[in-house]
Amino acid sequence: MERMQGDNDSSLIKNAFLLFDKMSELQKKLPVAYALFQIVENDKHDGAVDAKYLYANERFCRGIGHDKEDLVGHLATETYEDETKELFYYAYKAAYRGEESNYTTYSKILGHWAEFIIAPTNIRGCCIVVCTFIDDSHLERELLRRNSTTDDAIVRISRLLSNEDDYDAVMNQVLLELSRVIHPERIYILSTDRVVVDLEFEWCNDGIPTHREKLSKLSYQKYFGNWEKYLNRDRAVIKIDDIDIFKEHEKDVYENLKDRGIQRFVCAPFYDNKHQILGFLCADNYEIIDDIDTRKIIESISYFIGFRIRNHTLMKLLDYRGTHDDLTGLKNRRVFGEALKAVSQTRDTYGIYYVDLNFFKYANDNYGHHVGNEVLQETAIRLRDASRHEVFRIGGDEFAILIDEELPEEEYKKILEDMDAAFKVPILDTKDYRITISVSAGYAIAPTDSTSPNELRKIADQRMYEKKKLMHEKIISEGGTDPRG
């Protein structure tokens, strides 16, 4: 079998590509990453076990994150041992069979998609590899011009869903890009908890009205429950070319679609981690284009949409738990501190309340923690209603209120009176128990009491405990029992 012709040929190849590289760098008209490989065959001479870099241009080196000196003369397995199987397969076909190949893959090492064209050269045992790093801005523009094929569209749109830009902006951009590929009248994302279905995102073509109101709070069972049998039949996608198939047996669905001017539609579900439906990606009255597999595009992109929505939901939950009290839904101590600091930097006049529950420990110890939790939840509601300002839970039975506007002190006193009045009636009143509590509250105002947020907190806290002390002393003076709490 004929092999490489020796060092002279290698030098000739390298020199030719060096000249080509310099020309392309000078003219800036060939923004292409390419490399020349010499194939290392296996013992049976029917495949490749490695490939030596004979040459790599600057764009190729930059794309894979290595200097040219680290590549030229070295083996590919020295650089990316775990991601060479496909490369070697196609490289051998090019180098020894003269076959040109094209494939797209995602590199975990590089962290992005790449498209490879592997072509033969006139030197047996060598091949040229042209690489399109899809994250490159120039190549992104090239991909946008190549939206007439299904695979290109899927790669491009899935990339949008993988970036970390603003969630709403990304989802709207995805719908816009999909519209440029399948050309529908409308494309939209529905979410569901399997009770109701809501429209989350929508793109409409020029002159096509929004269906946001028509797709709000729809009954899942009435309008979407029967869709599951189509999913079972078609496995992943509902594609209806004529809505008349619903006319006889599913009249509600038919009338809903007809009312919205839909003659054909395609819809793909996306799921949570337990394979429960989270929503649907849908397109209405799309164009039928020979070069585009609409079903495949919608099915593929729905998977990435589902992943992005799950991730966004998780991040929202983590953010919520980091800033809110799970039990009452109020913002927590950390957020109160941040909000107080922000107000102090933007306003000269503002104020705070510190609020502590009286007799809560007694109720919690005697009726159980579940009842204590109900007391705290109802307390949060009453404090919000009484103060009409934002309430924070800063401890077990301790709350804070931030007044982020200028109020006369008489208004602060009025809020204290309203809080007292709010707890005159039992906090819980059921057939099993009747629980009454009260609150002790103290306020501090800037700049009257202090201009320092920390000092204001100390003053409000001290005044709160003075109120609490007076309350306990009054109970004892009247001959009652002092249930501290």
Indicate which CATH number applies to the domain containing 99: 3.30.450.20
121 — pLDDT class (breaks 50, 70, 90): confident
Decide if 482 is inside a domain. Answer: no
State the CB neighbour count (10 A cutoff) for residue 91.
29
Task: Of 64-73, 108-117, 280-289, give the lowest mean pLDDT range.
Answer: 108-117
**185 and 300 belong to one structural domain:** yes
- pLDDT (average), residues 346-370: 92
**279 and 173 belong to one structural domain:** yes
- pLDDT (average), residues 322-351: 95
pLDDT above 60 (res 42): yes
DSSP SS3 for 236: coil
* d(C-alpha 279, C-alpha 289), whole Å: 26
* d(C-alpha 198, C-alpha 217), whole Å: 5
- Could you tell me which residues are beta bridge partners of residue 271? 277
Decide if 395 is inside a domain. Answer: yes
**267 and 221 belong to one structural domain:** yes
**430 and 308 belong to one structural domain:** no
Alpha-carbon distance values, 372 to 45, 359, 367, 482 (Å): 78, 11, 7, 19
**Dihedral pair phi/psi, residue 114, rounded to 5°:** -145, 140
**373 and 434 belong to one structural domain:** yes
Asked if residue 171 lies in contact with residue 202, where contact means CB atoms within 8 angstroms, the answer is no
Q: CA geometry: angle at 201 spanning 196 and 204, to 5°?
A: 120
Q: CA geometry: angle at 29 spanning 26 and 32, to 5°?
A: 100
**127 and 201 belong to one structural domain:** no
Task: Of 84-98, 128-142, 148-162, 251-265, give the lowest mean pLDDT range.
Answer: 128-142
Alpha-carbon distance values, 60 to 66, 68, 71, 133 (Å): 9, 9, 10, 9
Handedness of CA 185, 189, 192, 196 (dihedral sign): negative
Q: And the tokens for 4? A: 């490489």
Q: And the tokens for 178? A: 């999909």
The total of structural domains in the chain comes to 3
Confidence (pLDDT) at 479: 63
33 — pLDDT class (breaks 50, 70, 90): confident
State the CB neighbour count (10 A cutoff) for residue 236.
14
Which helix (H) or strand (E) segment is 182 a member of? helix 167-182
Decide if 2 is inside a domain. Answer: no
Confidence (pLDDT) at 156: 84
What is the domain-level CATH number for residue 212? Answer: 3.30.450.40
Q: Look at residues 79, 105, 134 and tell me which one is the last residue of a structural domain.
A: 134
Decide if 339 is inside a domain. Answer: yes
- pLDDT (average), residues 336-346: 95
Beta strand 350-358 pairing with 398-403: antiparallel
Confidence (pLDDT) at 101: 84
**Which residues lie below 8 Å from residue 296, measured CB to CB, with a gap of 6+?**
150, 154
- pLDDT (average), residues 12-29: 46
Q: What share of the chain is helix, strand, coil (3-state, %, to 5)?
A: 45, 25, 30
**359 and 298 belong to one structural domain:** no
Beta strands in 122-246 (DSSP E): 126-133, 186-192, 196-204, 218-219, 238-240
Greatest alpha-carbon pair distance for the chain in Å reads 111
**431 and 369 belong to one structural domain:** yes
Taking only the tens place, the pLDDT of each residue in 159-213 is 888 777 889 999 999 999 999 989 999 999 999 988 999 999 999 999 999 999 8
Closest CA to 351 of 417, 408, 402: 402
Q: Look at residues 76, 108, 134 and tell me which one is the last residue of a structural domain.
A: 134
**303 and 157 belong to one structural domain:** yes
Beta strand 350-358 pairing with 438-446: antiparallel
- Rounded to the nearest 10°, the torsion over CA 195, 199, 201, 203 is 150
**314 and 175 belong to one structural domain:** yes
CA count, 13 A, side-chain hemisphere, 428: 19
pLDDT above 50 (res 144): no
Confidence (pLDDT) at 145: 44
**208 Rama sector, left if φ>0, alpha if ψ -120 to 50, beta otherwise:** beta
Calculate the CA 147 to chain-centre distance: 25
- pLDDT (average), residues 72-96: 86
pLDDT above 80 (res 15): no
Decide if 144 is inside a domain. Answer: no
Alpha-carbon distance values, 187 to 82, 345, 433 (Å): 40, 45, 54
Task: Of 95-99, 114-118, 215-219, 412-416, give the lowest mean pLDDT range.
Answer: 114-118
Decide if 398 is inside a domain. Answer: yes
Amino acid at 44: K
Closest CA to 204 of 215, 212, 213: 212
* d(C-alpha 87, C-alpha 47), whole Å: 11
* d(C-alpha 447, C-alpha 102), whole Å: 71
**237 and 97 belong to one structural domain:** no
**184 and 309 belong to one structural domain:** yes
Confidence (pLDDT) at 341: 95
What is the domain-level CATH number for residue 386? Answer: 3.30.70.270
Q: And the tokens for 274? A: 């337990």
Residue 412 belongs to domain spanning: 333-477
pLDDT above 60 (res 235): no
- pLDDT (average), residues 284-300: 83
Decide if 139 is inside a domain. Answer: no
Which is more confidently placed, 134 or 316? 316
pLDDT above 50 (res 4): no
pLDDT above 90 (res 5): no
Task: Kindly state the percentage of the chain with pLDDT values over 90.
Answer: 46
**Which residues lie below 8 Å from residue 261, measured CB to CB, with a gap of 6+?**
185, 284, 285
- Burial label for 223, CB within 10 Å (0-12, 13-18, 19+), is middle
Decide if 344 is inside a domain. Answer: yes
* Average per-residue pLDDT for the chain: 84
pTM listed for this prediction: 0.55
**Which residues lie below 8 Å from residue 184, measured CB to CB, with a gap of 6+?**
178, 205, 283, 284, 285, 286, 287
Asked if residue 129 lies in contact with residue 39, where contact means CB atoms within 8 angstroms, the answer is no
476 — pLDDT class (breaks 50, 70, 90): confident
Confidence (pLDDT) at 481: 56
Q: Look at residues 297, 320, 343 and tell me which one is the last residue of a structural domain.
A: 320
